[in-house]
Structure 1
Amino acid sequence: MLAFLQRIGKSLMFPIAMLPAAALLVRLGAEDMLDIPFVAQAGNGILANLALIFAIGVAMGFAKDGSGGAALSGAVGYLVLTGGVESFGDDLSMGVFGGIIAGIIAGLLYNRFYQTQLPDWLSFFGGKRFVPIITAVVMVVLSGVFGFIWPPIQAAINGLGEWMLGAGALGVGAYGFFNRLLIPIGLHHVINTVVWFDFGSYMPPGADEVVRGEISRFLAGDPSAGSFLAGFFPIMMFGLPAACLAMYAAAKKHRRAAVGGMLFSIAVTSFLTGVTEPIEFSFMFLSPLLYVVHALLTALSMMVSLWLDIRHGFGFSAGFIDYLLNFGIADKPIMLFIQGLVFAVIYFVIFYALIVKLDLKTPGREDEDEVLAEENQQVGQPSSGKGRDYDTKAYHYLTALGGPENIKTLDYCATRLRLQMNDMEAVDEKALKRQGANGVMKLNKTNMHVIVGTTVDFLAEAMRKRMDSNDMQAPGGEAVQEDTKTDGSAGLPALDKADIVSPAKGKLMNLSEVPDEVFAQKMMGEGFAIDPADGLFVSPVDGEIINVFPTKHAIGIKADSGHEILVHVGLDTVKLQGEGFEVFVTEGQRVKMGDKLLHADLDYLKANVPSTISPIVFTNLNEGEKVSVTEAKDVNVNERNILY
């Protein structure tokens, strides 16, 4: 049942995603803006047909391949259902519920019948063409059923809506609280759909049809609409960005540079667009208490907006763009902005105090070994997937999920992948987070969500493309070697130390001399180190580049022998975010001994990091295998016989 409800929630994102277009047209064409009536009516054309749009969108969402045949079936199903039901009484209207019901049934029928084969003389009507036909037949029957059972259901829904709209602070506060509390399992879209598109009714002056739902009524000028929307603006524009600031301030000083960029980007996204899940998933699993506080503060914001008699609305979410767009038709929007500033202070103080007092492991406060935490995008775990190379990113996500064969179904909504897994134990949660996932939610033994962000649709399509073609070629073009591991259990031959050359000019030293416990205690593996005399670093082996860190300070190489080597330039250089480095190689590139890897500005490094001593680590040696330098001495780049 949970999985089924989540499919509904995911499918609702198709029609909801077009709301910004409708809101933009309605507002730009309004008298208080550009005063272009046909533009406003074009937007109202969308709002007036929301139920039909929901039927189409939900049917596509339920169809296994998102087919247009399912979309057509959803439209046919809605028209048949509502036409039949309304014949039982002019006052009967299924609204968006009719669209959702028709979409669900059409999608399920599509999955069941889209490959139906009919006799030759009827073959034209077989396959996908058969789905609208069977949908119409089923909906005729259901329209008769709903003609009898819908009146009491409609009365109950109207009663619940009237209660919530008339319950004052209790109603609006309860909605705000459960809206946030349902986000972890993705069911907030369901409650939003009811409030946004069904609760309340309003007959605009001169209109022929009643407008239903908080968003449509607000955009149509209903003076009673907007109370269930206004309270979100202070949270999404100010509260959660302030929570990001609190997490940054509470982060360990040497980690702030590493987490600052991420926190800033998701805070700006929340402020401008109202997309908040990347922020919320950064702390909801670390501290459920902190997330409950956030839900309570959301409820409080909704109640305060009501007490101050503030009305405001949005077409998609409560970000600054919607705030400005609907400024002219809102009540007390300046007061709402001030409320947001107050809530920013409240969020910062409460979040900072709880994080520090309870020692919550929010971004930048993790307990893991410092360098290991920053470098755990180890050799064999490339991080380039964090960029816009979605094919590469898809490869690493599929690998972390246990391979395409471990994925039973793959869907997505606004910010998350929705997955059904065959073996949840095969999922590498840490690897997913290294690839940029904001959070991983394992709902039960088979269902999970991976919070990606607003680019999730590009990633999901890239993953589907690889899954459909059964393509698990590594980004560099070589097939994945399933027996290659990084834990020393790969059964590799002993490392031939004569095949290792010095990757830089400078002072050669044992790894135990590195002034960092993680490297010195060989937590990441055996190896050696060099205190470089100049900034040039070359490949110590023949092999393939399998990892170029986004911060340019480290490069992973897979030698032809199968051994994996991490060339890490300097200590704590990850915080430089690439400044002072020039990289000459790309992931998947073949290199020979002595080929240039990167150049580091040593003067810049010495001024900004604790040390330029550079560890060279073998991350997958066989158990018990050791590496030591022949002697501590000055070596030239490409010099042999440095290890024993």
Structure 2
Amino acid sequence: MQCRIKIKRRRQANMLSYLQKVGRALMVPVAALPAAAILMGLGYWIDPSDWGGSNSLAALLITSGSAIINNMSTLFAIGIAYGMSKDKDGAAALAGFVGYLVLTALCSPKGVSIIEQLPIDQVPAAFDNINNQFIGILVGIISAELYNRFSHIELPNALSFFNGRLLVPILTSFVMIFVACALMFVWPVIYDALVNFGENIQDMGSLGAGIYAFFNRLLVPIGLHHALNSVFWFDVAGINDIPNFLAGQQSIDSGTAEVGVTGRYQAGFFPIMMFGLPGAALAMYHCARPEKKNKIYGIMLAGAFASFLTGISEPLEFSFMFVAPPLYFIHAVLTGISVFIAAQMHWIAGFGFSAGLIDMILSSRNPLATDWYMLFPQGVLFFAVYYLMFRFFINKFKLLTPGREEDIFGDEEDDYNINKNNIRNINNDTAIKLLARRYISAMAGSNNLIAIDACITRLRLNVKDAARVNEALAKNLGASAIICLNKYSVQVIVGARAEFIAQAMQRVFADSRVPSAVMTALPPPHRIQADIKKIQATPLILLSPITGTVHPLETIADEAYASKILGEGVAIYPTAKTIVAPIDGKITRIVHTSHAFYLTSSTGVEILIHIGIQLDKQYSHGFKRLVEEDSIVIAGQPILLLDLEYLNANGVSLLSPVLVQNLSHFGELSVLANGEVVAGQTDLFAISPAGTVSANYTAALLAAGIDYTQ
């Protein structure tokens, strides 16, 4: 019995993970909506009543935007096929497009009439609506699965042109024939069920809109709100609230929109995103501990501004969603009430991206936007309600919202200082790869990581065991929250940089194996001060890893190194072929072209030695590694050999940075050498303070937020 229960739970977990994968893939086509919103919003601003009939510029803008809205189902098929493909390849997107064309042609009224030999007026009405987002989602999922399974198939030599990726669109077109045959029986049933569900909500009027909004917020933590949105915002059940609203006068003329009604599944979100959540942010700031208010101020101000201007609410919602679940439930209830009020009062505005000020302004001239300005006083009211309710519940029930956490070791450094270890330019390729590597390490390394993806503000990761994830280290890297949905699914909230980090993690994951970060348990608090003094007692000397000439970092023709974004140190122009370890430690990574390696000392100092800059792959055979990743090395031990004759003959710039990347965790760096240095013999620089305490211990102090350098 227990075995069956475990199997059932695992299946449920796998299903949840899969649904999340679908949900995040939906963000690919949904990302096209802001363009439609801007184009159509500007068009209606110019000509709100005649749909460009009296203004050519308005007609141009509205027609351009409607081209996106009217083809959302096709975009869903393409976007989901691409988003769910294992390597985000264009062949998957092509397969989605081909599959959608085949399926919708076969299941069109004309296609059904011919295949089933029925008079066209006897074809079920469901097939009049086959071009919808639900079908697009279905085709996208099937196409992605076919791509993931068959994109590496090798055919006989006579058919070798169609090997691998080129096979998938062809295979998809044949599979869609069978899917179409099944849909001819199943689609009328599915369509009737969806329509009934939508009609039940529609029949409930304003109350139904409020119920929808309540569940919309409740599903945000697990990322399934996108699936619910597709029923009410698009044409799955005939509601199609967003496209009908954006089409404005065209929808009114065609009878697909009703003034004062169309947009009711959107309007009530504006008071919440623009006013309610900023009110909650102010309450959390006022309830923070006095010594942490300065740090909380920046976090809450940034989140409130993003929510007000763009309607992106996740940075604020995730700040209290899991640390104070009762507040999030209150937030969901208040969202439902707001949407109900706006729908009941016929205060209507719409959006193409989210319910922020930008979309409010763009939609205000739409002929379907009725009394939209009343959403502002409603918003002011909800600002007060959110502020008062959040402040009351936080203080009454001692909820640990940001800035109210209890410190284990007193008033020390906390987790609100993001982008540590000198990683400040998140778009710099080397810096983002370094940050990505550390996130993989925090997920218990490459061996524990299965799949990497992202949506707007969060990393969505599949792991073998979520219990092994190092939450303290992930937060120390800048994550605001870590959500373990089940044993196999982890979400890491990192804000708007999520896509950059996920892409870098995918590259690092494919190129090399990253070990797990090891954090030991901390000793009792009374021992820490003595150990910190021990850490600070002895300066750490690093030998020169390169024989050559020392130069300042500023002379390197790469801003990332010259500006010291990637760390402190010097540059050395090599004149001998052997590169050695500057200190005892562990080789944590050697890049696949062997021109750079990372070394971590026994005290936790992280060193990057990068031979040359901006090297093309064609020069990879100019380097030979003498040790492998995870090797334990001693100071002076050879690590790399350079083919200087080859590299110099090909004009490669060999000026090489030698960097300490986490100097802020230790102290000051003093350069001890200038001019000529000899690898393994010349003292290059000293780091003070440093010492002999183990790297695991010092890393654990850092992960706990204890800055022992002060």
TM-score, normalised to structure 1's length? Answer: 0.75
Say if 1:116 and 1:521 are closer, same or farther in 2 by CA, change over 3 A: closer
Equivalences for 1:50-69 in 2 at 5 Å? 50-69=72-91
Distance 2:512 2:358 in 1: 41
Tell me the residue number matched to 1:2: 16
Distance 2:197 2:280 in 1: 34
Q: Residues 483 and 490 of structure 2 are in contact (CA less than 8 Å); yes or no, is this contact kept in structure 1?
A: yes
Gaps of 5+ in 1: 202-211, 473-479, 490-516, 531-537, 545-551, 567-584, 598-614, 626-644
Q: Residues 518 and 696 of structure 2 are in contact (CA less than 8 Å); yes or no, is this contact kept in structure 1?
A: no
Displacement after TM superposition at 1:622 (Å): 10
State the Cα RMSD in Å. Answer: 3.6
Tell me the residue number matched to 2:448: 406
Tell me the residue number matched to 1:133: 170
Percent of counterpart pairs with the same letter? 39
Deviation sequence 1:499-527 (CA, Å, 0-9, x none): xxxxxxxxxxxxxxxxxx97x76369331
Q: Does 2:357 match 1:320?
A: yes
Say if 1:521 and 1:539 are closer, same or farther in 2 by CA, change over 3 A: closer
Gaps of 5+ in 2: 1-14, 49-54, 113-122, 249-256, 544-564, 569-581, 585-600, 607-658, 673-687, 699-710
Amino acid at match of 2:532: E
Which secondary structure state, in structure 2, belongs to the residue aligned with residue 328 of structure 1?
A: coil
Aligned to 1:526, which of 489, 510, 532?
532
Displacement after TM superposition at 1:381 (Å): 7.8
Task: Count residues in correspondence.
Answer: 527
Amino acid at match of 1:418: R
Aligned to 2:180, which of 110, 120, 143?
143
Displacement after TM superposition at 1:395 (Å): 2.1
Equivalences for 1:415-564 in 2 at 5 Å? 415-470=457-512, 472=514, 522=528, 525-527=531-533, 540-543=539-542, 562-563=602-603
Deviation sequence 1:528-556 (CA, Å, 0-9, x none): 799xxxxxxx9943259xxxxxxx9xx9x
Distance 2:73 2:415 in 1: 48
Amino acid at match of 1:415: T
Tell me the residue number matched to 1:295: 332
Q: Does 2:378 match 1:332?
A: no
Q: Residues 453 and 461 of structure 2 are in contact (CA less than 8 Å); yes or no, is this contact kept in structure 1?
A: yes
Displacement after TM superposition at 1:438 (Å): 2.0
Distance 2:201 2:517 in 1: 59
Distance 1:621 1:302 in 2: 56
Distance 2:404 2:667 in 1: 40
Amino acid at match of 1:169: S
Displacement after TM superposition at 1:562 (Å): 2.5
Q: Does 2:142 match 1:105?
A: yes
Which secondary structure state, in structure 2, belongs to the residue aligned with residue 321 of structure 1?
A: helix
Tell me the residue number matched to 1:181: 218
Amino acid at match of 1:337: F
Tell me the residue number matched to 1:32: 47
Displacement after TM superposition at 1:385 (Å): 6.6
Q: Residues 27 and 325 of structure 1 are in contact (CA less than 8 Å); yes or no, is this contact kept in structure 2?
A: yes
Tell me the residue number matched to 1:357: 396
Say if 1:338 and 1:403 are closer, same or farther in 2 by CA, change over 3 A: same
Distance 2:530 2:425 in 1: 23
Displacement after TM superposition at 1:62 (Å): 1.5
Distance 1:236 1:593 in 2: 45
Tell me the residue number matched to 2:92: 70
Tell me the residue number matched to 1:307: 344
Say if 1:346 and 1:446 are closer, same or farther in 2 by CA, change over 3 A: same
Deviation sequence 1:240-262 (CA, Å, 0-9, x none): 11111111100011111122111
Tell me the residue number matched to 1:198: 235
Amino acid at match of 1:74: G
Say if 1:402 and 1:372 are closer, same or farther in 2 by CA, change over 3 A: farther
Say if 1:242 and 1:594 are closer, same or farther in 2 by CA, change over 3 A: closer
Say if 1:592 and 1:339 are closer, same or farther in 2 by CA, change over 3 A: closer
Misfit runs of 4+, over 4 Å = 370-373, 375-378, 385-388, 482-489, 558-561, 588-594, 615-619, 621-625
Q: Residues 385 and 396 of structure 1 are in contact (CA less than 8 Å); yes or no, is this contact kept in structure 2?
A: no
Distance 2:28 2:297 in 1: 33
Aligned to 1:20, which of 9, 34, 37?
34
Say if 1:375 and 1:539 are closer, same or farther in 2 by CA, change over 3 A: farther
Which secondary structure state, in structure 2, belongs to the residue aligned with residue 455 of structure 1?
A: helix
Equivalences for 1:221-300 in 2 at 5 Å? 221=248, 222=257, 223=259, 224-300=261-337
Deviation sequence 1:222-255 (CA, Å, 0-9, x none): 2231101001111111111111111110001111
Distance 1:593 1:460 in 2: 33
Amino acid at match of 2:75: I
Distance 1:227 1:241 in 2: 22
Q: Residues 385 and 392 of structure 1 are in contact (CA less than 8 Å); yes or no, is this contact kept in structure 2?
A: no
Amino acid at match of 1:12: L
Displacement after TM superposition at 1:371 (Å): 5.2
Distance 2:64 2:365 in 1: 20
Q: Does 2:405 match 1:366?
A: yes
Distance 1:130 1:354 in 2: 58
Distance 1:168 1:483 in 2: 53
Displacement after TM superposition at 1:128 (Å): 1.0
- Stretch deviating more after TM superposition (34-43 or 3-12): 34-43
Amino acid at match of 2:467: E
Q: Does 2:206 match 1:169?
A: yes
Distance 2:697 2:351 in 1: 62
Say if 1:419 and 1:217 are closer, same or farther in 2 by CA, change over 3 A: same
Q: Residues 481 and 493 of structure 2 are in contact (CA less than 8 Å); yes or no, is this contact kept in structure 1?
A: yes
